[in-house]
Amino acid sequence: MNSSELIVKHFKILNEDQIKKLKQLEELFKFWNKRVNLISRKDIDNFYLKHVLHSLSIHKLSIINHHNQTIMDVGTGGGFPGIPLAILYPNNKFYLVDSKLKKIKIIKEIIKEINIKNATTINKRIEDEDKKIDYVICRAFGRLSKIFTYTKKNIINKNNNGMICFKGGELKEELEELNQKHIVYELKNYFEESFFESKKIIFIPMH
C-alpha cells in the first residue's frame, strides 16, 4: 500500500482537514519534483511510505506534545519531515530551514497551496540561525555530532527539549562520536512495513 490510505491506517487521530492536506501532497510533489529534485525521483512512487509515513513516525514516540511547541526542521530539503509534521501538529509552530533558496521557494509555495498556517520557511545555513526553539528535527542531514554541534545553541534548555534525528543502519560509531545522553527508537517496533526494518529515531535530550 502506497497511498494516503497508508497514513490513515496508522493515524486514526487525523481529522478530515488533515487527511485532505496529506492527500494533496503527492500531486504537488510530483508537479514540483519534475522541475527541481526535491526528493529522490526513484522514491516518488513510494511517496507516502518513504516520506510522509516516515516523517510522521515521530508521533508514535510521544516526544513532542500537541500544543505550544516550537520545532525547527534543519536541512529540510524537500520539506520532510517538517511539512507532514506541521499538518499533524497544527497547534505547534514549525520552522523549515535550508540553505538552498531554490528548494525553500518551492516549499513556501507548497505550504501556501495547502494552507499550512503553522509552518514558516527560513533560507539560511543553520550555523547562522539563532532562533530559540524546543526541538530540532532532521532527516538525512549528516552525522549526529555535527548536527548537535550546529544546533545545540538553538534548543531552549528546559523540560524534555532536544534533538530528534531520523537515521538508518549501523550507528555505533556515530553514537560514540556524539558522546551525549541519547535514546534510540527502532521504528520496526512501531510499523510492520519492511521499509522500517533498519530505520531509527535518535532523541538527544538537552538535560
3-state class of 97 per DSSP?
strand
Is 130 within 8 Å of 153 (Cβ atoms)?
A: yes
Task: Say yes or no to pLDDT of 202 above 70.
Answer: yes
pLDDT of residue 49: 94
Q: How far apart are the first and last CA of the chain?
A: 40
- Report domain extents, the chain: 4-205
β-pairing verdict for 162-168 and 199-205: antiparallel
The correct answer on CATH 3.40.30.10 for the domain covering 4-205 is no
pTM of the full predicted structure? 0.95
* Cα gap 97→82, rounded to integer Å: 9
Q: Which has the minimum average pLDDT: 129-138, 140-149, 190-199?
A: 140-149
Q: Are 165 and 183 in contact (CB under 8 A)?
A: no
Q: pLDDT digits over 73-110, tens only?
A: 999 999 999 999 999 999 999 999 999 999 999 999 99
- Name which of 170, 122, 167, 178 is nearest 140 in CA terms: 167
What does the longest C-alpha to C-alpha distance in the chain come to? 44
Which position has the grid cell 488533515?
18
Q: Taking the CA of residue 77 as centre, how many other CA atoms within 13 Å lie in the half-sphere pointing to its CB?
A: 16
